[in-house]
Amino acid sequence: MMSWNRPQQNLTEAELAILAAQGNNQLTQAALQEMLMAQQGMQEVAAAQNIEVPKVNFYPSRHPDPKKARRKDIKQAYKLLQPAKRSWINPFRWALGRKYRYNKDTGTCVVDGCNCANLIQHDNLYMKISDEETGRSLWEMYWQNPVTGQPEAFIAQDRVTSGKKMRGTYCPEHMHLYHLLNKWEAEEDKQNEMNPNRLRDKVKRGVSIVTVPISSVKKNDPTPAMLQKYEPFFAELERDSGKTKGINILHYANPATGQNDVTMVVFDLRIFQMELQQMNMPTQAFQELLNVENAKMQQNLDGGLGTGEV
Ligand SMILES: [Zn+2]
């Protein structure tokens, strides 16, 4: 079918619904609509500003088995989000070791080299494209430092969801695809975890699964009532400690009873600063721009307008 050459363009609502009903269950009509909006937004900016803006040609799988369709979508997303490499014969690559084409600063998309700083200045699409379920914008989810809360460019990794941090980012369209990819993978992990084979693997590795009745867990919880109010604080720490090496929660178990007698929280400023430096390679002007955009978002939130409006 020739019309599938550019699946994201010129689709009517009805066609979108049909596409959403097929293949990957997580690629809902709402998700497709966000995808479409990202693409249209980018093209509009391109036309208005004369910025060279790429178009991401993602073709949703239409495989009848939703799990296989998701697998295919994940594979395709990885391919599309891979940072652009220089060719083997390019002297930059073999003489200077600069493997990646767009790896200079955090204002540039690592896939297509699109100037995201320019884009944001004209129209901050990161703020307009949201998760179709939570309503949180890409800006809120990915463009803020988890530790400081300061606005900061998202940093791409050389193997997309893992690997070394690059110095570039993703443009709004690639960023949205990256977000979807993460959701699909999380869903896949969740399902794999329930797979009986996975359980057998764990048992083989000496992990035994014992179901403990909730009541007995509660009785054994040694946390004194006075400390219970700190639980949300610790939950937050647990979450952030996954994102940065600067937060460490140390437990010292009592060798006799096996209970956690001492818990220490360590904030390591040196590591924060090091991480910030590694993550932050923006120019001064770009950082200022990010600050302005964040202030705008705060205003929107305070005004109760939300961030999803167009
Ligand atoms: Zn891009």
Task: Decide which of 72 and 221 is more confident.
Answer: 72
- For residue 281, report the distance from its CA to the centre of ligand 1, in Å: 18
**pLDDT bracket for residue 271 (50, 70, 90):** confident
- For residue 276, report the distance from its CA to the centre of ligand 1, in Å: 23
Query: Of 61-75, 142-156, 289-303, where does the model show the most confidence?
Result: 61-75
pLDDT surpassing 60 at residue 40: yes
Please provide the size of the chain in residues.
310
86 is a domain residue: yes
205 is a domain residue: no
Instruction: Return d(Cα 105, Cα 280) in angstroms, integer.
Output: 9
- pTM of structure: 0.65
- For residue 228, report the distance from its CA to the centre of ligand 1, in Å: 45
- For residue 233, report the distance from its CA to the centre of ligand 1, in Å: 37
Helix (H) or strand (E) holding 247: strand 247-253
pLDDT digits (tens, 9 = 90+) for 69-80: 999 999 999 999
**pLDDT bracket for residue 170 (50, 70, 90):** very high
Report yes or no: 107 and 166 within 8 Å, Cβ to Cβ.
no
CA angle at residue 252 from 239 to 221, to 5 degrees?
Answer: 70
199 is a domain residue: no
Residue 66 corresponds to which tokens in the numbers above?
């939703």
Instruction: Return d(Cα 234, Cα 52) in angstroms, integer.
Output: 46
**Tokens 């200045």 found at:** 121
- For residue 279, report the distance from its CA to the centre of ligand 1, in Å: 19
Q: Which residues have beta carbons under 5 A from ligand 1 (an ion)? A: 109, 111-112, 171, 174
**pLDDT bracket for residue 221 (50, 70, 90):** low
User: How many domains does the chain fold into?
Assistant: 1
What percentage of the chain has pLDDT greater than the value 90?
29
Q: Tell me the backbone φ, ψ of residue 255, rounded to 5 degrees.
A: -60, -25
- For residue 149, report the distance from its CA to the centre of ligand 1, in Å: 24
- For residue 122, report the distance from its CA to the centre of ligand 1, in Å: 16
**Tokens 């914008």 found at:** 137
Q: Cβ neighbours of residue 164 under 8 Å, at least 6 residues apart?
A: 157, 158
Instruction: Return d(Cα 16, Cα 33) in angstroms, integer.
Output: 8
27 is a domain residue: yes
pLDDT number for residue 174: 95
For residue 36, give its domain range: 8-194
Q: Cβ neighbours of residue 177 under 8 Å, at least 6 residues apart?
A: 35, 56, 58, 77, 80, 81
117 is a domain residue: yes
Number of helices (H), then strands (E), belonging to the chain: the values are 13, 2
**pLDDT bracket for residue 305 (50, 70, 90):** low
Provide the CA 37 distance to its chain's centre, in angstroms: 18
